[in-house]
Structure 1
Amino acid sequence: MGLKGFVEGGAASVVAGCSTHPLDLIKVRMQLQGEAAPAAAPPMRLALAFPPGVSLQGQGQPPRKPGPVAVGAQILRAEGPAGFLSGVSATVLRQAVYSSTSMGLYDAIKKRWERDGGGGALPLHRKIAAGLVAGGVGATVGNPADVAMVRMQADGRLPAAERRNYRSVAHAIGRIARDEGVRSLWRGSSLTVNRAMIVTASQLATYDQAKEAILARRGPAGDGLATHVAASFTAGLVAAAASSPVDVVKTRVMNMKVQPGAPPPYAGALDCAIKTVRSEGALALYKGFIPTITRQGPFTVVLFVTLEQVRKVLKDFDF
């Protein structure tokens, strides 16, 4: 198995991940909105009489959740411009480990199956199968960086006394392993793997399929920037729509705080999904969907446009 596909995929993923990190940060903060607070003593109920037509303002109405622009403004006010880079070191590590593995393995599997099939283009279902395998393997090895990234991105929304204050991804991984055990670095790994399989399969397979469809009409001369942008944007939309519910649950499970001697807020992925839907409604599984699309679209475009350029640079090298 050659390393070329891993290097190409890793380089393109790091560029795409860093360039869209602020959008991913906003998405994570939105996904954590509305989480149930720790149980507290019920408030005293007072029997108060109000004149007709007079009521407590906003009584019985939940506060309106801020949108992506408002969340971005909150980050800017509370943490300054540097707040948009919270967890960027974890993003770099995650892309270098997870994305290089998944994209390199997808490329290797696809080429192997193409050779076994006589050199023709793979049908869509074979591309999806290659993406599922590659995404699962990549997510398994990249889960520690994913846990660190979610926590570093979420830290700024907590009161100062409750923040974890990780200095870097290495510091985060070291503290998590020391304070919570090495196994906690794979907290939510089943969700990470499921999400990665969905994203990798939908993203890479859709890009290849869309690109092939465009080139079938335009011919080899159409293999340029416009084709790459169109195919990658289509892939981003499909990946965002397919992965959003799993991504919301993954973010909440990875970010949960487990107090010594107390049961965890969520017993697992299914428990988290059920509690989220019960307390916030089914659409809560699509929280942060607008920033997800806003991030996934540019991320996928930058990813595949960069990938195509890296391939051109490395086309004469074989390793």
Structure 2
Amino acid sequence: MGWRNFVEGGLASIVAGSVTHPLDLIKVRMQLQGETAAPALAGVSHSPSSGTYCTGTLSMGRQVVKTEGLKALYSGVSASILRQVLYSSTRLGLYDVLKAQMQGKNENTLPVHKKIAAGLAAGAIGAAVGCPADVAMVRMQADGRLPAFQRRNYTGVGDALIRMVRQEGLASLWTGSAPTVQRAMVVTASQLATYDQIKDYLISKHLVQDGIATHITASISAGFVTSVASNPIDVIKTRIMNMEVKPGQKPPYTGAVDCAIKTIKKEGPMALYKGFIPTVTRQGPFAVVLFVTLEQVKALLKDH
């Protein structure tokens, strides 16, 4: 039944997102490094976390723990869980539904171009549904890097969504929706198509049997491909979602292209790969936990 695809995808995504959330937070902090911050008020100094540049994943993680405490690594986890419920369950559920509809009567396995097409469509729809939770998550993850007087201090995802609507309007929930949809299309197509293709290849060539070892191998490959393909769009998405638009003033970025141009001009082309190490170190474990959990959940629900 179709509903199972969405339930299976949602459950697996919640587990994977919760386990890898600290790496996602570190990635967001690194992606925002070098971005022009709002000017400090006279006589008010920036917090250490907002003024120090970290060059590595571990150093950023240590800095977050040192300046904000260990629990700061899970800032925005409530928004992350909601995001997985909305975004990931939609994209994973739709991907399986679309694959089933695209498969011809004479096709034993779906061609890779159809898998990519299914991933692109599922990712776009999932991102549109989950964008509000994504915006809230990015803002909550980024908050600790700011001086105390500039922080939004959302108490949870519900508080974040309500305050965004009240203070910035309903449209603010879809801030950065264009790069979010673009990233989701790239992530879903590269992640799911790569996983399916590698798993199908290994099994069809009788190199391995369908089992956890196969799922882990395909997952790691999918995580790496996804990281390389999506990191530039992810940097742009993070910066647009985190920007503060003050009444009567122009926003820091007018769109994804403007953000990319300003980032490259100010920080160089490789700025689009900021946070790549935590991205790839997150995408690997995320993909492994996601797909291994997904396969197990599917097996459990198969006969129900």
The CA deviation at 1:151 is 0.1
Asked whether the equivalents of residues 33 and 53 of structure 2 are also in contact (C-alpha less than 8 Å), the reply is no
Identity across the alignment (%): 62
* 1:108 counterpart letter in structure 2: V
Pair 1:118 & 2:103 matched: no
Give the counterpart of 2:269 among 277, 282, 305: 282
Which whole-Å CA distance do the structure 2 matches of 1:2 and 1:71 have between them?
42
- Find the counterpart in structure 2 of residue 249 from structure 1: 236
Q: Provide the C-alpha distance between the structure 2 equivalents of 1:295 and 1:234, rounded to a whole number of angstroms.
A: 13
Q: Which residue of 2 aligns with 1:93?
A: 82
Letter in 2 for 1:80: G
Q: Pairwise mapping of residues 113-262 of structure 1 onto structure 2 (< 5 A)?
A: 113-114=102-103, 116-218=104-206, 222-262=209-249
Q: Give the alignment's TM-score, normalised by structure 2.
A: 0.94
Task: Say how many residue pairs are matched.
Answer: 293
Q: Quick one: distance in 1 between partners of 2:73 and 2:39? A: 31
Q: CA RMSD in A?
A: 1.4
Listed one character per residue, the Cα deviations across residues 243-294 of structure 1 (whole Å, up to 9, x for unaligned) are 0000000000000011222111111111110000000000000000000000
1:38 Cα deviation (Å)? 4.2
Query: Could you tell me which amino acid in structure 2 is paired with residue 253 of structure 1?
Result: I
CA distance in 1, matches of 2:93, 2:204: 25
Output the CA distance in 1 between the equivalents of 2:154 and 2:54. 27
Segments of structure 2 that go 5 or more residues without pairing to the other structure are 41-51
Kept in 1, the 8 Å contact 2:31–2:238? The answer is yes
Q: What is the alpha-carbon distance in structure 2 between the residues aligned to residue 75 and residue 38 of structure 1?
A: 20
Partner secondary structure for residue 308 of structure 1 = helix
Pairing of 1:48-67 with structure 2 (within 5 A): 65-67=54-56
Larger Rg: 1
What whole-Å deviation, never above 9, does each CA across 1:107-131 have from its counterpart, x for those lacking one? 00101222x3335211000000000
| Equivalent residue letter for 1:263 | K
SS in 2 for 1:222: coil
Residue number in structure 1 paired with 2:66: 77
- The offset of 1:36, in angstroms, is 1.7
Give the distance between the partners of 2:254 and 2:22, measured in 1 at CA.
30
Confirm or deny that 1:266 pairs with 2:257.
no
Measure, in 2, the Cα distance between the counterparts of 1:231 and 1:259. 45
SS in 1 for 2:2: coil
* Deviations, residues 200-223 of structure 1 (Å, cap 9, x unaligned): 00000000000011101227x711
Q: Which residue of structure 2 aligns with residue 310 of structure 1?
A: 297
Distance, in Å, in 1 between the alignment partners of 2:64 and 2:291 is 29
TM-score with structure 1 setting the length:
0.89
Runs of 4+ in 1 over 6 A off after TM superposition: none
Structure 1 residue 21 corresponds to structure 2 residue 10: no
Post-superposition CA distance 1:151-203 (Å, at most 9, x none): 00000101111110001101101100110000011010011100000000000
Unaligned runs of 5+ in 1: 41-62
